[in-house]
Amino acid sequence: MTSSQASGLQAIFIAGPTASGKSAAALALAERVGGTVVNADSMQVYRELAVLTARPTAADMARAPHRLYGAVPAREAYSAGRFLEDAAAAIAEARKVGRVPIFVGGTGLYFKALLEGLAPVPDIPPEIRAYWREQSGASDAAALHAELAARDPAMAAKLRPTDPQRVVRALEVIDATGVSLAEWQGASTRPVFAPTEVAKLVIAPEREVVYAKIDTRFDRMVGAGALEEVRTLMALGLDPGLPAMRAHGVRELAAYQAGATGLEDAATKAKTETRRYAKRQMTWLRRFMTDWEWVPDANAAVAALSPSPERGRSART
């Protein structure tokens, strides 16, 4: 696809599980079509997590514009709503200079929000958020769900008692606004793009290929400074409930540094958790991205967008 052909697209979306080659495909396409790579991964946004999240290197970022990478300190809890705001600014910037925004990442909710909109839930006051995080640590999941059922039965009926993260989110919203999260979700914001305006690709290698890449990549991360990165992160004394503190490898390497386990065991656990995460990502993609074009690797992704700009209508292969 030439630069003039790419001008017919409003954006390019590249999704896929971790370690599938998404970033390489996005960079190659950015160079080919004159694009700006925009992060759509909820962990690569955190400033302190360059190594463990496999963020594009400085050399990669010098080859094409990259936005929303390392843009947020780990002490903040990034949200899908904030992503949409930041994405809007990145889109406007790219369009101003005649570049195609290329969204790439493994956070399916971000792509869903771009195409379908998002519930306009207001910001939760920090003190309320802190309170419910404390309750989450002190109470079991069943008790939290019972509390939600008493205060917001409509939302409680939609959530499993075994899903404390979403239960706590619902409690935060009803506490802060007096309005059920179910009602907020009934008034979605407008989509940023229509499905026909974007080329939509899922890079989906065979499972064993992804697993092998995860293992190799984690070993490379350890050699590239992941231990130092985790040491620096832990020194900040952040709330362990913050999203950045739940990045794959943080908990395991922190345990090693605390003397609770050996490095080999820590690496094995981190790899296992990352493989499980990749499996969950694929389940999500199969459920919500059936109308995207599915390709086996980064090279196929680049080739798929080369012949014609009229993408976005392809069915999963």
Q: Which residues of the chain have pLDDT under 70?
A: 1-8, 187-188, 307-317
Total-model pTM:
0.80
Angle at 10 between CA 6 and CA 13, to 5 degrees: 90
* Cβ–Cβ under 8 Å, residues 102 and 11: yes
pLDDT for 185 equals 76
| Start-end of CATH 3.40.50.300 domains in the chain | 3-118+189-304
Residue type at position 17: P
| Start-end of CATH 1.10.20.140 domains in the chain | 126-185
pLDDT for 125 equals 85
3-state secondary structure at position 12: strand
Could you tell me the maximum CA-CA distance found in the chain, to the nearest angstrom?
Answer: 58
**Residue 16's closest CA among 8, 5, 24?**
24
CATH code of the domain occupying 3-118+189-304: 3.40.50.300
Q: What is the DSSP letter of 245?
A: G
Token digits of residue 229: 């990165």
**Residue 129's closest CA among 160, 72, 170?**
170
CATH label, 126-185, candidates 3.30.559.10, 1.10.20.140, 3.40.50.720, 3.40.50.300: 1.10.20.140
* Cβ–Cβ under 8 Å, residues 42 and 107: yes
pLDDT for 187 equals 65
pLDDT for 8 equals 67
CA distances from 94 to 89, 124, 223 (A): 9, 31, 35
| Predicted confidence (pLDDT) per residue in 194-204, tens digit | 999 999 999 99
